[in-house]
Amino acid sequence: MNASEIIRWLSPELILLITGFVVLGADLVMRRRDEGRTAAVIALIGLVLALIMALLLAMNNPATIVASTFAVDPYSSFFKVLAIIAVSLVVLSSMDFMKGKSRYLGEYYALLVFVTLAVSIAVSATNLLLVYLGIEFLSITSYILTGFLRNDRRSEEAAIKYFLYGASAGAVMLYGISLVYGATGSTDLVAVGELMKAATGPEHLLGVAAIVLLLGGFGFKASLVPFHQWAPDTYDGAPTPVTAFLATASKAAGFAVAGRVFITAFPQFTPDWMAILGSLAILTMTVGNLTALKQHSVKRMLAYSSIAQAGYIVLGLAAYNPTGGTFTGLNGMLIYLFAYLFTNIGAFFVVLAVERYAGSSEFSTFKGLGKRAPGLALLMTVFMLSLAGIPPTGGFLGKFYVFAAVVEKHFLVLAAIAAVNAIVAAFYYMNVIRLMFFQDSEDETPLQVSSGLNLSLVVSAVMVLAIGILAQPFIAWAVESVQMVNTRGF
């Protein structure tokens, strides 16, 4: 493989890397005179270029390993596209939101570009070494972004909690990696998969222990239940655009890495990790939904709801079917994550618009939104329906594929618990719609929404509906994207 080929395979990452530095440089030149607008525009251009390159690469159905550790395959391309779209929307909405809130807006946009790079590396890693580095890079950048509002004590509190949990989770995951290395002498995922094939008795238990420890790290990113304590406070206190990122792209990275590592490196442990993930799914859904019911602010309710959603998403892996078929579980997870991306980003952005106006996101601020901002209320309705999984939204398609995989595997208890949870969840999503349209507020002044935020809201809503109504192209893409490279790095 020569240099120009390597550059071509790595083009999305290289573009992101260069963009990050250009943003930092441009901010230096502008000396913060324009409140970060130049930086944001450059970041957006870079993200769009990277998106185009990632899509072009994905179209060739590549299956290559670059530089021994980095996979270019449909699976990684899917998550790269997802992350780049998410961060682009976050940048769009930040242009207005962050104005006047920080002196370091150039750094803010540069970090957003770098965090995209972190996700795209983590989802492409075929070596536990790069998996670890990618996840830690993603985490450290996220801590900084979470604590970015220096004049807001809630933001730094969110960051310190996120940091303390994240650092410990990273160390636990690392211990798991060291056990894998000790048992096989390798950290290449495919090599580990081959060397662990004959594991029986105590060796098998060692493998299971390693899986549990690894899950400490992945579950932390994906906010699965025993590792979720940071999530509500962090989602609540972080700058809302950053919350939208954490709840979508960052979470998707956790699932993507877990999927690749478990499927490639532990194929003969499939029943074990499926059982573990299945029980985590039950815990996550139940705890998330029951706590979401008790919340008083929409942002915090969405925080718990996004924990509950992680429970549905992990069902896809818990019902993984390696032999193929229509519902392999994995494709359900991808569809779910893609629909969930637009839904959740949209919902958090509506909160952002209300918050900007009312100063908080208490339930009372949503009262009468149907009169004060009919457009916004309508969009929020679309997002709530999608979160509840009601057709014709994208959320329905995702839930359908995941639940179908569970039923096809005959995990009937799991399916029943998931269904009950979905009904409970529908209750609090509908409550928001009820507040917006059937409750009056004293305040009747119309709400203004900035153009950048408006654009990202409309894009999200259109995509949520498109995924639900057009369905077929998205399903086809997700089915294509479950392919991972399965050759050794070196």
Partner 1 sequence: MTLILFAFLALIALAGGLGVVLSRNPVHSALSLLLNFASIAVIYFLLHAQFLGVVQVIVYAGAIVVLFLFVVMLIGGNIGPYRHGSRTVTSVIAVGLAAAFLALVVWSVVQVLPMSATPVGAPDAGSVQAVGMALYTDYLVPFELASLLLLVGMLGGVVLARRYQPFAEDETQ
Partner 2 sequence: MAIPLSWYLIVAAALFCIGFYGVLARRNAVAILMGVELMLNAVNINFLAFWRYVRPEEPLGQVFAIFVLAVAAAEAAVGLALIISIYRTRKTINIDNIDLLRG
Query: Which residues of this protein are in contact with partner 2, per CB under 8 A?
Result: 129, 132-133, 136, 140, 143-144, 147, 150, 153-154, 156-161, 163-164, 167-168, 170-172, 174-175, 177-179, 181-182, 185-187, 232-233, 236-237, 294-297, 300
CB 488 → partner 2: shortest distance, Å? 13
Phi and psi at 121, nearest 5°, equal: -75, -45
Considering only 209, 293, 424, 471, the residue that binds partner 1 (CB under 8 A) is: 209
Two tokens, residue 217: 């790290």
- Give the span between the Cα atoms of 396 and 464, in whole angstroms: 10
| Residue 97 in the binding site for partner 1 (CB under 8 A) | no
Binding partner of 148, given partner 2, partner 1, none, CB within 5-8 angstroms per partner class: partner 1
Smaller CB separation from partner 1, 14 or 426: 14
| Residue 185 in the binding site for partner 1 (CB under 8 A) | no
- Given the rule CB under 8 A, which of 114-122, 242-250, 329-337, 470-478 is the region that contacts partner 1? 114-122
Binding partner of 102, given partner 2, partner 1, none, CB within 5-8 angstroms per partner class: partner 1
- Give the span between the Cα atoms of 366 and 355, in whole angstroms: 10
- Given the rule CB under 8 A, which of 131-139, 280-288, 313-321, 464-472 is the region that contacts partner 1? 131-139
Binding partner of 104, given partner 1, partner 2, none, CB within 5-8 angstroms per partner class: partner 1
Q: Are 346 and 464 in contact (CB under 8 A)?
A: yes
Binding partner of 187, given partner 1, partner 2, none, CB within 5-8 angstroms per partner class: partner 2
Phi and psi at 354, nearest 5°, equal: -65, -45
Q: Are 308 and 424 in contact (CB under 8 A)?
A: no
Sign (positive or negative) of CA dihedral 238, 242, 248, 251: negative
Please name the residues in contact with 312: beta carbons below 8 A apart, sequence gap of 6 or more: 281, 285, 336, 398, 399, 402, 418, 421, 422
**What SS3 state is found at 445?**
coil
Smaller CB separation from partner 1, 4 or 445: 4
Smaller CB separation from partner 1, 117 or 249: 117
Binding partner of 209, given partner 1, partner 2, none, CB within 5-8 angstroms per partner class: partner 1
Q: Which residue type is seen at 456?
A: S
CB 182 → partner 2: shortest distance, Å? 4
CB 238 → partner 1: shortest distance, Å? 14
Residue in the structure block whose two tokens are 């928001």: 432
What mask, x for binding partner 1 by CB under 8 A, covers residues 4 to 43? Answer: -------------x-------------xxx----------
Smaller CB separation from partner 1, 150 or 294: 150
Torsion angle, CA of 380/381/383/389, rounded to 10 degrees?
160
| Residue 206 in the binding site for partner 1 (CB under 8 A) | yes
Q: Are 461 and 379 in contact (CB under 8 A)?
A: yes
| DSSP assignments along 187-199, one per residue | -BHHHHHHHTTT-
- Give the span between the Cα atoms of 101 and 2, in whole angstroms: 46
Q: Are 1 and 29 in contact (CB under 8 A)?
A: no
Q: Are 70 and 125 in contact (CB under 8 A)?
A: yes
Q: Which residues contact partner 1 (rule: CB under 8 A)?
A: 17, 31-33, 66-70, 100-104, 107, 110-111, 114, 117, 121, 127, 129-130, 133-134, 136-137, 140-141, 143-144, 147-148, 150-151, 156, 159, 179, 182-183, 202-203, 205-206, 209, 489-490
